[in-house]
Structure formats: C-alpha cells, structure tokens
Amino acid sequence: MLKVEERVKKIYRFIASTELAIGLFIAISLVAIPGTFTKSRAIYSSPLFVSLLAALAINLLFCSIKRFKAISGPVLILHGGVVLTLAGSVVASFGFVATSFVYENRLAEQFYRWDVKQDSSLGFGLVVNKINRKFTPAPVKIGVLKNGQKDGLHEIKTGESFSLPPYRIVADELEMPAENLKLIIYERDRRIGSYTTSGPSDLPVDFPYQFKLVAFQTPLLLREWVDLILVRNNEIIAKGTSEVNKPFQWGGLYFYNTRNEYDEKGVPYAGIQIVRDPGRWYVFLGMTIVALGAVLTTFRRWYGSR
C-alpha cells in the first residue's frame, strides 16, 4: 500500500515539476517551427501539438495546486488565465474551417473541410443573395439621346443629378468592374423608374431619353459586404450580412467573407469561410484573466517596493 502511495506521489511531483514545464515548452517550440516558416497552419491543430498544449495546461494546474500556499494571489490569477487559455486552445481543436466559392444568387451545399480535406455537407445550404460594394463618388460624363438623336452631355459625380425638364436624372451608382452606370429618374419629385447604361430599364415605354456612359474616373472601393441566406429543406433558416472583420454568426458558426471576384464571363462570386471554434470564448476569457493577473502582479511589486 505504501509503495502505491509513494508511486502516486512520485507521479504527482513529476506532473507538477518545473522540469516537465521546461521540457513541454521546448517540445511545443520545436513542433511549432514548421508552422512559423511555412504558410501551413495544420500543425497547430494536429493531435501532437494539441496534446502538448493539454499536457502543459495540466502541468501548470498541478504546479499551482502544489504551491498554492506559497504563490501570491495575483500569480494564481495569472496561472488560472494561462490554464484557461491553453484549455480553450485544446477545445478549439474540435472545431473546423470550411470554405467555398459561391456565385451570386446560387445555392452551395458542399463545403471544403480543411480538417478532413474533402467536400462535406454542413447540414444547410448557403446562398450569397447579393455582393455589395460601396465606392467613393466618381466623376462621370453622361451622353443623352432623345428619340435616338444626340441631345447633350452632362459631367457630374455619382450621387449628383441634372435636369431634363420635367425630369431629374440622378447618377446613382457606378458598378465596377462592369463599368455600368445606374440612373434613377424622377418626374416632378416622383420616381418613375431606373436606367442602366448596360441596357436594362424599367422606365415607361414613352420615356423619350436614352443615356450612355461616355467617360468616367475609376472610383475607390470604400466597403464590401455580402448578404447571406441559410436554407434547409427549401426553407430559410437564417439571414445576415458578412464583411471583413464582421462575420455573420449563426448556430455557433462564423461566416467570413474572404474575397469577392468576377469569373472570366463576368459573373460575380464570393469566397466564404465558415468557422466553428468552440474554444473561442475560453481563450478570450483566459487572456482577459492573464491581463488582470499581470496588472495585479505589477501593481503588487510596485506597491510593495514602496
């Protein structure tokens, strides 16, 4: 019985030892080297790396328990934050990252899972309802034709308007890279329709004017975002928007808009990254506790030195 107790104590001392902590730090550093010098981040979710993080968390926890009476309160808080951060990193390994290129107004039901390296279903379909872009006001020259004959040339900026009594023509938006100008037409302050220089129009058939984009100055992109719809069994289950640093959140998933492009035929599509990170808030909370512990430790040393 005594031998069993001594063996348990020996294992306990080893788990809580400084030597083990140093060894784990060295092992983690060595394993992380490939991820530091390459673009691949797969090593950080590998079973080996996650196991080392879990071992370090256990080591620090046992170390804190063993030296509980000898460690000051602020340092214990610091240790607790580190343990929680490491635990969150371990929990995060049970999440995943999935990506897909989704064409505007089309349904995507398969997403590439980087953890299993294959296309998979996530239990819902994703529609990029619209890709939105906001540009700076751009100078444009608009040629006006009346009943097919040249009637004038107007130089204004998008957002501004000019008059063709009894109509007012608003240069609403210059779509890039399609180089398509959208115009809104008003008759005595009543909107009667819209006109795009690429052709489509919902104006009355007797409207006498046509418009052409003669010249323009390329505008600067201010903001870009996508409208998303989640579908299951032909029913909408969620809607939202996603843009850089502002992902759409639903069901524990984060939907990031990573890029927006046009294919060779000029059809727009969006790059969507879907992330499940169950350890996210554990890491955030752990880092907050670490910061609190660091502040308290610094204050204690500064105050104690006086």
Q: Give 263-274 pLDDT, tens digit per residue.
A: 888 788 999 999
Burial classification of residue 279, based on how many CB atoms lie within 10 Å of its CB (0-12 exposed, 13-18 middle, 19 or more buried):
buried
Q: Are residues 89 and 16 in the same domain?
A: yes
Q: Are residues 8 and 87 in the same domain?
A: yes
Q: Are residues 116 and 69 in the same domain?
A: no
H/E element, 81: helix 73-92
Q: Are residues 61 and 209 in the same domain?
A: no
Q: Are residues 254 and 113 in the same domain?
A: yes
Residue 304, amino acid = G
Taking the C-alpha atoms of residue 160 and residue 142, their distance in angstroms, rounded to an integer, is 12
Taking the C-alpha atoms of residue 191 and residue 173, their distance in angstroms, rounded to an integer, is 16
Q: Is residue 245 scored above 90 in pLDDT?
A: no
Q: Are residues 120 and 175 in the same domain?
A: no
Paired with 142 in beta bridges are 154, 213
Taking the C-alpha atoms of residue 12 and residue 262, their distance in angstroms, rounded to an integer, is 60
- Answering whether pTM is above 0.85, one says no
Domain count, the chain: 3
Cα of first residue to Cα of last residue in the chain, in angstroms, is: 52
241 and 230 Cβ atoms separated by less than 8 Å: no
Taking the C-alpha atoms of residue 183 and residue 159, their distance in angstroms, rounded to an integer, is 10
Q: Is residue 168 scored above 90 in pLDDT?
A: yes
Nearest to 152 by CA among 166, 160, 167, 162: 162
Domain that holds residue 17: 2-94+280-305
Given its phi and psi angles, is residue 192 left (phi above 0), alpha (psi -120 to 50 degrees) or beta? alpha
Q: Are residues 118 and 70 in the same domain?
A: no
297 and 78 Cβ atoms separated by less than 8 Å: yes
Residue 148 CA, chain-centre distance (Å), reads: 48
Q: Are residues 192 and 143 in the same domain?
A: yes
Angle at 268 between CA 267 and CA 269, to 5 degrees: 120
Q: Are residues 53 and 187 in the same domain?
A: no
Q: Are residues 36 and 50 in the same domain?
A: yes
Q: 26-30, 123-127, 246-250: which range is least confident on average?
A: 26-30
Neighbouring residues of 195: CB distance < 8 A, sequence distance ≥ 6: 182, 183, 185, 201, 203, 210, 211
Q: Are residues 8 and 77 in the same domain?
A: yes
For the segment 46-60, the average pLDDT, to the nearest whole number, is 88
Nearest to 123 by CA among 265, 297, 252: 252
Q: Is residue 22 scored above 70 in pLDDT?
A: yes
Q: Are residues 253 and 300 in the same domain?
A: no
Residue 239: band (very low, low, confident or very high) from pLDDT cuts 50, 70, 90: very high
